[in-house]
Amino acid sequence: MAEPNLIGDCLAELSAQLPAPIVAELADGLDQTRQRYLSQGLVPDAAARAALAEFGEPHIIVAAFTRASPARRAARRLLATGPMVGACWGTALIINRAWAWPIPIGTRIAVGGALITAIALLAIAAFSGHYRSAGRAATAGCIGIAALDATVLITITLAAPAVVWPVIVAMTASLARMTFSARTLHTVLAS
Amino acid sequence: MRAEELKGHLDALLLAALEDGPRHGYAVIEALRNSTGGRLDLPTGTIYPALHRLEAAGLISGSWSVVSGRQRREYRLTAAGTRALSGKRADWRDFAAMISAALEGQPWPSPT
């Protein structure tokens, strides 16, 4: 009775950390590895042990999937491109003397806090060793960044005295990032 | 050959394993084992995330099928994957020729 428990325990450990389709694929591979050892004459318990030894430790497999996860990849891209988009907006806001706009100080602090939170969530997703927490953090970070982009776009449309080319560049960068965030959300939620 | 020595080459090996046609994860592992005479020494469970990474990069595509009541994911090379494999093969030949020339004390490229 030990054989099914060995494989089952491994799959249960993987299921706790990875999405069901990935675990189904791993279960198939693990079963085929076990079948190969059985066909070589090993008893079921020994075949299960040999298959698990060949397969690798669950935490190593989970870590490899986390490194390859769409959430982690997207978070790293957003973090890498963030300074460029930020520089575009910084230039656009300075040119438009944004500090003189009639925006309450509380709103400015709230936007700043939201930006820091979104960046922190993306950083968690980018460096997390846990597949599910990376996915959750990337989802929240993408939503946060997209919401901030939308907020800034609406604000500058309403408040900017003139739309000069740095504003157009910044708006284009934000729209591109919002599109990327939407695609990322779709991919991460589907994974 | 250990996993550390494979770094940088695993993608090319996986693409090559799919060159002859679609394969599922375990068949890819078997193909790698056969093509290397069983000398590859890496946790086979880590082949699956590598396949997912190649799929995300658009070099291979995956699709599900049901075999004997069990779900099985099969992978095939994309056009981009075929091009990438050709590039990796050329890079490897260049690299191997350079190292061989250096180890054997010959100028590189070798005069013909």
Contact check, Cβ <8 Å, A33/B24: no
Sorted by sequence, the CB contacts under 8 Å of residue A160 that are 6+ apart come out as A96, A167
Contacts of B65 in chain A (CB under 8 A): none
Nearest to A64 by CA among A137, A129, A132, A134: A129
Q: Which residue has the higher pLDDT, A190 or A9?
A: A9
Question: Considering the domain boundaries, does residue B46 fall inside one?
Answer: yes
pLDDT at A2 over 50: no
Q: Does residue A83 sit in the same domain as residue A59?
A: no
**Nearest-CA distance from B10 to chain A in Å?**
13
Question: Considering the domain boundaries, does residue B97 fall inside one?
Answer: yes
Q: Does residue A57 sit in the same domain as residue A76?
A: no
pLDDT at A129 over 90: no
Q: Does residue A96 sit in the same domain as residue A175?
A: yes
Q: Does B68 touch chain A (CB under 8 A)?
A: no
Tokens describing residue A88: 């575009």
Task: Please say which residue of A39, A65, A91 terminates a domain.
Answer: A65
What pTM does this model have? Answer: 0.79
Tell me the HSE value of A11 on the side-chain side, using a 13 A CA sphere: 20
Q: Does residue A6 sit in the same domain as residue A76?
A: no
Task: Give residue B100's pLDDT.
Answer: 87
Out of B48, B56, B64, whose CB is closest to A26?
B48
Q: Does residue A50 sit in the same domain as residue A94?
A: no
- Among A18, A61, A187, most B C-beta atoms within 10 A, so best to mutate, is A61
Contacts of B40 in chain A (CB under 8 A): none
Contact check, Cβ <8 Å, A64/B46: yes
Range of the domain at A23: 2-65
Residue B25 near residue B75, CB atoms below 8 Å: yes
Tell me the HSE value of A106 on the side-chain side, using a 13 A CA sphere: 0
**Nearest-CA distance from A55 to chain B in Å?**
5
Contact check, Cβ <8 Å, A61/B46: yes
pLDDT digits (tens, 9 = 90+) for A53-112: 999 899 989 999 999 898 999 999 999 999 999 999 898 888 888 888 788 889 889 999
Domains contained in chain B, number: 1
Residue A187 near residue A74, CB atoms below 8 Å: yes
CATH of the domain at B69: 1.10.10.10
Q: Where are the beta strands (DSSP E) in A23-147?
A: none
Out of A21, A25, A54, whose CB is closest to B25?
A25
pLDDT digits (tens, 9 = 90+) for A143-184: 999 999 999 888 888 877 777 788 889 999 999 999 998 888
Task: Please say which residue of A26, A42, A65 terminates a domain.
Answer: A65
Question: Considering the domain boundaries, does residue B55 fall inside one?
Answer: yes
Chain B residue at shortest CA distance from A56: B43
Confidence band for A1, pLDDT divided at 50, 70 and 90: very low
Contacts of A33 in chain B (CB under 8 A): 26, 44
Domains contained in chain A, number: 2
Question: Considering the domain boundaries, does residue B112 fall inside one?
Answer: no
